[in-house]
Chains A and B, each alone.
Chain A
Amino acid sequence: MSCSVHDLVRLERLGVATAGVGTEPFADEALEQAALLGMPGYRMVWVPHPVQLLTAAQLDARADAAMEAILERLLADSSTANIS
Chain B
Amino acid sequence: MRYVSPYDPAARRPVEAAPRPESLAGRTVALLDISKNRGAEFLDRIEHHLRERGAEVERYAKPLFSRPAAGELVERIAARADLAVESLAD
- By beta carbon, the residue of chain B nearest A63 is B45
Is the pair B42, A12 in contact by a Cβ cutoff of 8 Å?
no
Q: Given A11, A52, A71, which contacts B78 in the complex, CB threshold below 8 Å? A: A11
Q: What is the number of residues of chain B that contact chain A, defined by CB distance less than 8 Å?
A: 44
Is the pair B90, A23 in contact by a Cβ cutoff of 8 Å?
yes
A31 at the interface (CB under 8 A from B): no
What is the CB-to-nearest-CB distance from B83 to chain A, in angstroms, rounded to a whole number?
A: 5
Question: CB-CB contacts of A42-57 with B at 8 A, as 1s and 0s?
Answer: 1010010111101010
Which residues of B9-40 have CB atoms within 8 Å of chain A's CB atoms? Answer: 12-24, 29-30, 32, 34, 37-38
Number of residue pairs A-B, CB distance < 8 angstroms:
150
- Taken together as a complex, chains A and B put the C-alpha atoms of A51 and B41 apart, in Å, by 11
Question: CB-CB contacts of B77-89 with A at 8 A, as 1s and 0s?
Answer: 1100111111111
- Contact partners of A4 in chain B: CB under 8 A: 34, 86, 89
- Contact partners of A1 in chain B: CB under 8 A: 89-90
Interface of B is mostly: loop
B2 at the interface (CB under 8 A from A): no
Q: Given B45, B82, B89, which contacts A23 in the complex, CB threshold below 8 Å? A: B89
Is the pair A12, B85 in contact by a Cβ cutoff of 8 Å?
no
Additional A-B contact list (8), CB under 8 Å, known A9-B15, A59-B41: A6-B69, A13-B15, A19-B85, A44-B89, A51-B42, A74-B29, A75-B21, A76-B20
* A–B complex contacts, Cβ < 8 Å, 5 sampled: A7-B69, A8-B84, A11-B78, A20-B89, A44-B89
* Residues of chain B at the chain A interface (Cβ within 8 Å): 12-24, 29-30, 32, 34, 37-38, 41-42, 45-46, 49, 53, 65-69, 74-75, 77-78, 81-90
